[in-house]
Structure 1
Amino acid sequence: MSFSLPRYLAPDFTALGLDQAPDVKLVPAEQDGVVPDGYHATTLFPEYYHLDGRWVLAEDSRMDCVAVARNGRIEIVEFRNVKAGDPVVVGRTEDGSEGIYIHPNCFADEAGNREAFAFRTGRSRETAYSIDYDELYQLLRHEREHGNILWVMGPACAFDADARAAFAALVRGGYVHGLMAGNALATHDLEASYLGTALGQDIYTQKPHYNGHYNHIDTINAVRRLGSIPAFVESGAVTDGIMYECVQNQVPFVLVGSVRDDGPLPEVYGDVYQGQDAMRELVRKATTIICMASTLHTVATGNMTPSYRVAEGNVRPLYFYSVDISEFAVNKLRDRGSLSVKTIVTNVQDFIVHVRKGVCPAEG
């Protein structure tokens, strides 16, 4: 099976009768963090704005933000980041009549079939996923060389020896360009190498260690004593695993905390908005995102992920996967507006082992 990116079908504004559309209405923000009445809230699809007599694509988008005109360009800005005086786009039609045009159904495969990348059919634990795995292997091989693969992970993969080893192999193989998670994933992965357990339980035999409930806190304390995860890795305290390979292979990671965190590890963002900004920086680079067994991190990532990416002047799809054993969890993401997500209902530990075998079998 060969892989090729779907072709972007740009709108023909003349054929749409929109070559003489009015310029979009801009109203200055009255104060920091407050936008004008009638503001336009952005979507995950490509959006064009008629600005100074020409249609301009917002190149870096996300849903539930506002459009701001700056230096002849359209920037998509979170509400909290709007500054007093920013010229904010106002208008709530999307057909071009107010200078705002939203362009869904914009990709086609080699045969010209539209929307080749959008995945909007119902999916359950009874769905046949064989073709999905094969297509994912081809996508990952392409993206390793030509894109940016971002993974969003819950702690489940750190609790299982084979899953943990599989993801480490993907990092070594060049299939991980960024990682986003919470305190738990990093803590239990480091605990697995440092003390052989995750939450005090052996990651292979499942046998609990005596006083094992101390192990994750002891691990956090040891990392905090050295000041950072890279320092802990460089000390030789850990010799394998997810975080070890990310440090060794210079893969950027963002860890965002929650109210229930122990410790936490030094790199964990305690300020939710600082964490969101850090996540956004990794999402801006991504062309494929795979979220596994972390509902809150998955929904957060989905909310800041558009359906497209502009790379080297070309518009291409941004591929988004959500993998979870719970049908509710994967459907929740689509219910929150991430319509281009492809869902796979399965155990994420099994999923990551399958993916490792599919793309880097030599590591098996």
Structure 2
Amino acid sequence: MAFTLPTYVEPDFNRPDLKDAPLALFKPVELPGVAPEGYHATAIFPEYYHLRPGVWKLPRLSRMDCVVVLQENDHLEIKEFRNLAKGDLVACGRREDGEDGIYVHTEPFGGTASEKEKFAFRTRMSRETSFSIDYDELYDLLEHEREHGFICWVLGPAVVFDRDSREAMAKLVKDGYVHGLLAGNALATHDLEGAFYTTALGQEIYTKRSASLGHYHHLDALNRIRALGSMKQAVQSGQVKDGVMKAIIEQNIPYVLAGSIRDDGPMPEVIPSAYDAQDAMRGVVKQATTVIAMATQLHSIAVGNMTPSYTTMKDDSVRPVFFYSVDMSEFVVNKLANRGSLSARSILTNVQDFVVTTARGLDSRRNC
């Protein structure tokens, strides 16, 4: 089954309600970090701004819960509130149907609702939901994105708590299915604990036996890396023999490790400031055409809030950004949608099984 990107359908600006719409109103920022009264907050969908009669402009990059700033040459920049400077011209208006010169395009890729039975079983996703077709569609997508997109993975430490999962994730990196990585201190720490001691939090990642004094292992791993100065130095010196971070560093994949109040150590490359980490994460997410978030509720919601449903390519074409949430908890995947990431697609499963299945499925297709 060949993968094809959904075609972007632009709004019809010749419709009477849009053709006769007023121009968008932009008000200056009076106090740094404070948006003017009546500011317009962005959603995950493409949004057009009526800048001149008959000229509607779509920002190239967007992010939910931000504001739109008009700059020179009709450039529209999406800014977080904290980054607003005095004098910035912020789009204002709460009506999203064009009445304020702002149009939010909620069906950009032809989202027509299919007919449903008045009564049907299993209409809500649960642990009993079948996901065979989801895997097949994901394989098609990843094969396409490997050559034509930017695949960003958001990983929790559970991915490296299992030997096969850890090896499979490293293989996905080496095979070109990972273009960016977002995680916390724990992912890197336990991956390197696995490299040094074949444990995660002191438990053998294959046999699941608790190692003698294993509760020291992640701290010893942190200490060794800090003594060497960086994970990169540890990899280049040959002391790290395997694992996800080794593959990421050797393949020169951009990664961001965001610090947390609960971190041990942390690893030298962890960014301690939440807002610095957020900015660094945004730098990766802006490039993403597919995001796969696994086994980390807080990081998944954070990245979900940064990820719009579309992106604009270099040739000015508009394409969807695919977002997958993978977790064994129904609460986690539903929480993402409840926080505004309405386009997120969910797969309910153990993430270790997911990684192994995905790596094997892609291998099987490539070797056919």
TM-score (norm: length of structure 2): 0.94
**Contact 1:191-1:215 at 8 Å conserved across structures:** yes
Inter-partner Cα distance in structure 1 for 2:25 and 2:164? 56
* Residue in structure 2 matched with residue 96 of structure 1 by the alignment: 98
| Matched position secondary structure for 1:107 | coil
Q: Which residue of 2 aligns with 1:68?
A: 69
The SS at the match of 1:340 is coil
CA deviations 1:116-156 (Å, max 9, x no partner) are 9xxxx732111110000000000000000000000000000
Any residues of structure 2 matched to 1:115-194 within 5 Å, and which? 122-194=124-196
Contact map agreement 1:149 1:286 (CA 8 A) in 2: yes
How many percent of aligned residue pairs carry the same amino acid? 56
SS across alignment from 2:341: coil
What pairs up with 1:106-121 in 2 under 5 angstroms?
Answer: 106-108=108-110, 114=112
Task: Say whether 1:48 aligns with 2:51.
Answer: no
The alignment of Structure 1 onto Structure 2 pairs a total of residues equal to 355
> Could you list the per-position Cα deviations for residues 52-71 of structure 1 after superposition, in whole angstroms to 9, with x for gaps in the alignment?
33100011101100111011
How far does the alpha carbon of each residue in 1:97-121 deviate from its partner, in whole angstroms, 9 at most, with x for none? 111000011103xxxx6489xxxx7
State the alpha-carbon separation in 1 of the partners of residues 317 and 17 from structure 2. 24
Q: Give 1:3's aligned residue.
A: 3
In the TM superposition, residue 257 of structure 1 has moved relative to its aligned partner by 1.2
Amino acid at match of 2:57: V
Shift in alpha-carbon separation, 1:205–1:33, aligned structure 2, 3 A = same
User: Aligned with 1:360: secondary structure?
Assistant: helix
CA distance in 2: counterparts of 1:124 and 1:47, whole angstroms: 33
Residue 218 of structure 1 corresponds to: 220
| Corresponding position: 1:349 with 2:347 | no
1:279 counterpart (278, 281, 287): 281
* 1:315 alignment partner, one of 308, 313, 318: 318
Quick check: 1:258 aligned with 2:260?
yes
Q: Secondary structure at the match of 1:2?
A: coil
Structure 2 residue 23 is matched with structure 1 residue 23: yes
Cα distance in structure 2, aligned partners of 1:248 and 1:115:
45
Secondary structure of the residue aligned to 2:3 is coil
* Aligned 8 A contact 1:66 1:89 in 2: yes
Asked whether the 8 Å contact 1:201–1:207 carries over to 2, the reply is yes
3-state SS of 2:286 partner = helix
Distance 2:342 2:2 in 1: 25
Deviation per CA, 1:290-347, whole angstroms, max 9, x where unpaired? 0001000000000010000111211000000000000000000000010000011110
Match of 2:362 in 1: 359
Question: 1:239, CA displacement in angstroms?
Answer: 1.0
Contact 1:105 1:115 in 2 (8 A): no
Task: Give the letter for the 2:68 counterpart.
Answer: A
Asked whether the equivalents of residues 41 and 64 of structure 1 are also in contact (C-alpha less than 8 Å), the reply is yes
Q: Match of 2:118?
A: none
- Partner Cα distance (2:133, 2:285) in 1: 26
**Structure 2 stretches lacking a partner, 5+ long:** 115-122
Contact 2:17 2:98 survives alignment (8 Å) = no
Partner Cα separation in structure 1 for residue 124 and residue 226 of structure 2: 45
| Separation in structure 1 between the aligned mates of residue 85 and residue 338 of structure 2, nearest angstrom | 31
Q: TM-score, normalised by structure 1?
A: 0.95
Sort the Cα spacing of 1:115 and 1:60 in 2 relative to 1 into closer, same or farther, 3 A: farther
Specify whether residues 16 and 325 from structure 1 end up closer, same or farther in structure 2 by C-alpha distance, changes over 3 A only: farther
1:241 corresponds to: 243
2:196 and 2:363 map into 1 onto residues whose CA distance is: 26
Within 2, Cα distance between the matches of 1:180 and 1:198?
A: 19
Alpha-carbon offset, residue 166 of structure 1: 0.5
The residue correspondences of 1:194-209 to structure 2 (distance < 5 A) are 194-209=196-211
Segments of 5+ residues of structure 1 without an aligned counterpart are none
How far off its partner does 1:87 sit?
0.5
Please give the alpha-carbon distance, in whole angstroms, between the structure 2 residues aligned to 1:360 and 1:169: 10
Is 1:59 the equivalent of 2:66? no
SS state at 1:247 partner: helix
CA distance in 2: counterparts of 1:321 and 1:5, whole angstroms? 16
Partner SS, residue 307 of structure 2: coil
